[in-house]
């Protein structure tokens, strides 16, 4: 409307609330062979609120015990690579680049190592989940050196959290 040098524009505003964009989560696990950590990841993927989150599963090695329990179309990324190979790291980095998650959630010692190395090639905020309160010498070495590559570290129990902070010296503020 115009009058006396004043110009007013009318803007139609929807009365429907707009939903914020869904958070994209990529779960990384070495395999889906039978085990408690594997069951945990399957349950996470199945039970995230689909209105708030979009998730995908990346599995490095073959082995699919939980096929019936997985959400349809999962695992979206099956790399079928040896764990300790440059192809595994570059494969995970390729998935990070193509899927473009808001967060990588890695599981188990092997998955945590691969995820941390892959995010050096394709940076993504990273959460690592430690499922055991005892690690061999190699993984203790890796965890002490690479914990800074994780934005947060989840100890799946109080005992695991105590192990990470007490035995490995990871600051409690990150666990």
Tell me which of 13-17, 39-43, 64-68, 87-91 is least confident.
Answer: 13-17
* For range 111-129, the mean pLDDT: 96
pLDDT tens digits for 33-70? 888 899 989 998 889 998 999 999 999 988 777 778 88
Residue found under tokens 């990529």: 26
State how far the Cα of 79 lies from the Cα of 92, in Å rounded to an integer. Answer: 8
**pLDDT above 70: percentage of residues in the chain:** 89
State how far the Cα of 26 lies from the Cα of 10, in Å rounded to an integer. Answer: 43
**To which H or E segment does residue 7 belong?**
strand 6-7
* For range 99-122, the mean pLDDT: 96
What pLDDT is stored for residue 12 in this prediction? 55
Mean residue pLDDT across the chain: 88
């Amino acid at each position: 409307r115009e009058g006396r040098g004043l110009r007013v524009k009318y803007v139609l505003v929807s009365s429907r609330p707009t939903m914020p964009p869904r958070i994209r989560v990529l779960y990384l696990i070495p395999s889906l062979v039978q085990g408690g950590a594997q069951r945990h990841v399957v349950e996470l993927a199945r039970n995230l609120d689909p209105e708030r989150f979009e998730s995908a599963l990346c599995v490095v090695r073959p082995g699919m015990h939980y096929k019936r329990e997985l959400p349809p179309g999962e695992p979206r990324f099956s790399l079928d690579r040896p764990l300790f190979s440059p192809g595994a790291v570059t494969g995970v980095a390729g998935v990070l680049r193509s899927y473009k998650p808001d967060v990588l959630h890695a599981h188990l010692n092997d998955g945590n190592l691969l995820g941390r190395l892959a995010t050096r090639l394709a940076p993504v905020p990273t959460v690592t989940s430690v499922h055991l309160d005892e690690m061999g010498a190699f993984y203790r070495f890796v965890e002490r050196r690479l914990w800074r590559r994780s934005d947060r570290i989840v100890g799946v129990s109080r005992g695991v959290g105590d192990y990470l902070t007490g035995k490995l010296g990871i600051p409690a503020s990150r666990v």
